[in-house]
Amino acid sequence: MPQSEYQEVNFDGLIGPTHNYAGLSAGNIASLSNAGGISKPKAAALQGLSKMKALMDLGLTQAVIPPQQRPDLSFLRKIGFEGSDAHLLAQARDADPTILAAVWSASSMWAANAATVSPSPDTADNKVHMTPANLVSNLHRSIEHPTTTRALRMIFKDPSHFVVHDPLPDQARFADEGAANHVRFAASHDQPGIELFVYGVDIHDPSNSARNYPSRQTRAACEAIARTHKLDQSKVVYARQHPDAIDAGVFHNDVIATGNESVFLYHEQAFATSRSMLTDLATPLGKPLIAIEAHDTDFSLEDAVTSYLFNSQIVTLPDGSMSLIAPLETTENPRVAKFIESMLADDSNPINTAHYLDVRESMRNGGGPACLRLRVPLSSTELAAVHQGVILNDDLHAKLVEFVTRTYPDEITQSDLLDPSLASSCIQTLDELTQILDLPGLYPFQQ
Ligand code: SUG
């Protein structure tokens, strides 16, 4: 398959061996309703690897981001727990089981929250800029960014092409959830893009806030990233998440809207911002914006949240057509299934195929296909400068499948989080992974 000069590369988070259901995310309905359930880490990671292989087999370039060191026992020591590993785990459970669960969470699998990415055609210095997300809204996610930053700096290490910024200040005022609240539009991936930043919190306009559930992304974070990434401000658009959508379980914008090149797929209740946003996006694009709006009469916000249609990936295939990479759950809702069918049949948009993938283990924690990946548009020169150990090919895929099958636990329950031998075997597993991906020294325990 000929590689085009410029392409979007998907970096998927490899699901880690400690994947579990702890109900840690307020406002994320799947996370809350599956709290305390039995997780299947091995099946979860194999589902993620099958998704990566499916994308690779469509002719797309696919890469892997390793999971994090979990459990993070150093965090428990930092907040005053002491003694043997068994003692530490038991003390944390007695003090607050959600702290225990936080240090075991495999939440870095949702790589869409790893960073915000601005590709080189959009930035004043023609470099790819990335800002790891501080994820301060949730304890279990706020401990991801040090390792995320290190991993991104190891993968995108060539300073002549890549700038991996420090995360924004670790404060609620700059709460940042990464690419899950960011959509880039462009006539094609190699053209200068329009970057849409979506937020739920604006301290200067508190009136329009969600009431029941937390809003995670701040406008201040969006504005800071647009500055540090050296974006052309005339090509930056800000939009506010609709508070009713957040209250219906839309904790990230990628649960209700997505885009690819000049296609914008969203639900009519996604945004509180006026419809002039569409003009703001279309004017600098240099090509008509193809807006596909799902109406409440097609399906409700609740249908959007349970089916995760908008958490599909829309990808441009090597032949120039677009495909929808959707979660299997979309086929189980007749209204959503019908909407997809008519979208595929409609020649006024370029999406004409769909692939339905089983990522159910991740879905039960509120993570669909798009959550599992960080997209990075790259030129062929930039792609050649990426650490090649993480680029998926048949050989690496087979190695990772063998590794996961041999080393990952079959199941984890919440009581397993007290087990120090599970803790040490998960750490050993990660040690082997850094050899497979050729990322020595990635984890704190290796330094
Ligand atoms: O941050 N779930 C994640 C899901 C993230 C999905 N990502 C995007 N939409 N891009 C979250 O809420 C649940 C963990 C638990 O409950 O065990 C969790 O963290």
Is the Cβ atom of 24 under 6 angstroms away from ligand 1? yes
Q: 53 and 392 in contact (C-beta within 8 Å)? A: yes
Structure confidence at residue 3 (pLDDT): 42
Per-residue confidence in pLDDT tens, the chain, 447 aa: 334 589 999 999 999 999 999 999 999 999 999 999 999 999 999 999 999 999 999 999 999 999 999 999 999 999 999 999 999 999 999 999 999 999 999 999 999 999 999 999 999 999 999 999 999 999 999 999 999 999 999 999 999 999 999 999 999 999 999 999 999 999 999 999 999 999 999 999 998 899 999 999 999 999 999 999 999 999 999 999 999 999 999 999 999 999 999 999 999 999 998 778 999 999 999 899 999 999 999 999 999 999 999 999 999 999 999 999 999 999 999 999 999 999 999 999 999 999 999 999 999 999 999 999 999 999 999 999 999 999 999 999 999 999 999 999 999 999 999 999 999 999 999 999 999 999 999 999 999
Atom of ligand 1 nearest to the CA of 107: 19
Task: Please give the distance, rounded to the nearest whole angstrom, from the Cα atom of residue 300 to the centre of ligand 1.
Answer: 22
Compute the distance from residue 139 Cα to the ligand 1 centre, in Å: 12
pLDDT number for residue 4:
53
Distance 40 CA to ligand 1 centre (A): 16
Select which of 161, 252, 267, 397 is catalytic. Answer: 252
Instruction: Name the H helices within 108-229.
Output: 139-142, 145-155, 219-228
The radius of gyration of the chain's CA atoms, rounded to the nearest angstrom, is: 21
Q: Is 242 in the pocket of ligand 1 (CB under 6 A)?
A: no
177 belongs to the catalytic site: yes
- Check pocket membership of 362 for ligand 1, CB cut-off 6 A: no
Whether residue 113 has its Cβ less than 6 Å from ligand 1: yes
pLDDT of residue 2: 38
| Given 177, 261, 361, 382, the catalytic residue | 177
Domain boundaries, the chain: 3-70+105-446
Residue 131 Cβ < 6 Å to ligand 1: no
Are 408 and 429 within 8 A, CB to CB? yes
CA–CA separation, 109 vs 14, rounded Å? 6
Q: Which one of 11, 15, 20, 24 would you pick to mutate in the ligand 1 pocket, going by the greatest count of ligand atoms within 8 A of its CB?
A: 24
Say if ligand 1 is within 6 A of residue 255 CB: yes
Q: Which among 19, 25, 32, 134 is the best mutation to test ligand 1's pocket, defined by most ligand atoms within 8 Å of the CB?
A: 25
Instruction: Judge if the beta carbon of residue 116 lies within 6 A of ligand 1.
Output: no
Number of residues in the chain: 447
**Which strands, in side-by-side order, build the sheet including 257-260?**
257-260, 263-267, 290-294
* Beta bridge partner(s), residue 128: 162
Q: Say how far apart CA 210 and CA 269 lie, in whole Å.
A: 13
Distances (CA, A) of 326 to 46, 171, 182, 254, 329: 17, 34, 19, 13, 8
**Residues in Cβ contact with 297 at an 8 Å cutoff, skipping those fewer than 6 apart:** none
Does ligand 1 lie within 6 Å of residue 23's CB atom? Answer: yes
Active-site residue, from 195, 371, 382, 426: 371
According to the model, what pLDDT value does residue 292 have? 97
| Cα 363 to ligand 1 centroid, rounded to whole Å | 9
User: What per-residue confidence (pLDDT) applies to 155?
Assistant: 98
Does residue 252 line the site of ligand 1, with CB under 6 A? yes
Q: How far is the CA of 346 from the centre of ligand 1 (A)?
A: 33
Is 252 noted as a catalytic residue in this protein? yes
At the fourth CATH level, the homologous superfamily of domain 3-70+105-446 is: Succinylarginine dihydrolase (3.75.10.20)
How remote is the CA of residue 60 from the centroid of ligand 1, in Å? 26
Indicate whether residue 280 lines ligand 1 (CB < 6 A): no
For the Cβ of 414 lying below 6 angstroms from any atom of ligand 1, the answer is: no
Question: Could you tell me the distance, in angstroms and rounded to a whole number, from the CA of residue 367 to the centre of ligand 1?
Answer: 6
Q: Is the distance from the beta carbon of residue 141 to the nearest atom of ligand 1 less than 6 Å?
A: yes
Please give the Cα distance from 193 to 183 (Å, whole number): 10
Ligand 1 atom nearest the C-alpha of 35 is: 16
Instruction: Indicate whether residue 378 lines ligand 1 (CB < 6 A).
Output: no
Q: Is 371 a catalytic residue?
A: yes
Determine which residue's CA is closest to atom 11 belonging to ligand 1: 25
pLDDT in the model for residue 137: 98
Give the Å distance between the CA of 2 and the centre of ligand 1.
Answer: 36
Q: Quick one: CA dihedral 176, 179, 181, 185, positive or negative?
A: positive
State the distance from the centre of ligand 1 to the C-alpha of 159, rounded, in angstroms.
Answer: 31
